[in-house]
Amino acid sequence: MGSVVSPRRDVFPASFAALPRLVELARTRARALELAGAIVRGAAHDHGGDALLADCTAAVTELRELVDHRLRTRPDDWLRSFRDLLATAGQYHWSAVLEDFADDFYPLPCPHCAGEVTVAIGAHGCYAAIRDWYRGDVERRPLRSASPAELRGVGRWMYDTATRDGQADIAWGITYLFGRAQCPHCAAVFTVAEEYTAANLPPCPGR
């Protein structure tokens, strides 16, 4: 590392130095597993975090296996552990933003007209709309969920893991997250997950 940039910068690599030891402890201790997961999730928030993780490949691989093993036991805090799993797989975006689909909103710009669209996935409905300060979500258009067979890549993996572990609500939400929305402004159709990811890529010069 170079000279001191900020206090946080100082602390961050130290936590990575502790990762291999923490993962060793995590084989038998739940608290160590939790801490190790939090360190890897934190990698998303720091430029250079990826490089630090690359130095700990073996520890991250073992952590991923330990977290996956825990998920199969269907713990009460399944979603939190699943966010750890996503981070160990390098899926920092979904690790940071995935919720339980009880009441989730994904604001994003339409890729065609750039108009602001609010995508809702939850008990209140699954739709794309224009969010109006006074009138709520107007001009709602229903989302089209992806069938499990249509899912590819990370969406498929997320869906399969949730299904494997009996997380029916999460699996259900993922089919909408990786499904299609229609823009209420211009009627263009797009994939929610793709546009939401593109809208939230961290500004990371040099990557």
**SS3 for 188?**
coil
Sign of CA dihedral 38, 43, 46, 48: positive
Question: To the nearest whole angstrom, how small is the minimum distance from the Cβ of residue 115 to Zn ion?
Answer: 5
- Of 72 and 112, CB closest to Zn ion: 112
Question: To the nearest whole angstrom, how small is the minimum distance from the Cβ of residue 207 to Zn ion?
Answer: 28
Residue with tokens 């590819």: 152
State how beta strands 103-109 and 116-122 pair. Answer: antiparallel
- Of 108 and 146, CB closest to Zn ion: 108
CA distance 176 to 147: 9
- Of 75 and 111, CB closest to Zn ion: 111
- Of 79 and 188, CB closest to Zn ion: 188
Number of alpha carbons in the 13 Å side-chain half-sphere of residue 17: 6
Question: To the nearest whole angstrom, how small is the minimum distance from the Cβ of residue 128 to Zn ion?
Answer: 9
CA distance 67 to 34: 9
Which residues of the chain form contacts with Zn ion (CB under 5 A)? 110, 112-113, 115, 183, 185-186, 188
Question: To the nearest whole angstrom, how small is the minimum distance from the Cβ of residue 173 to Zn ion?
Answer: 23
DSSP code for 79 = H
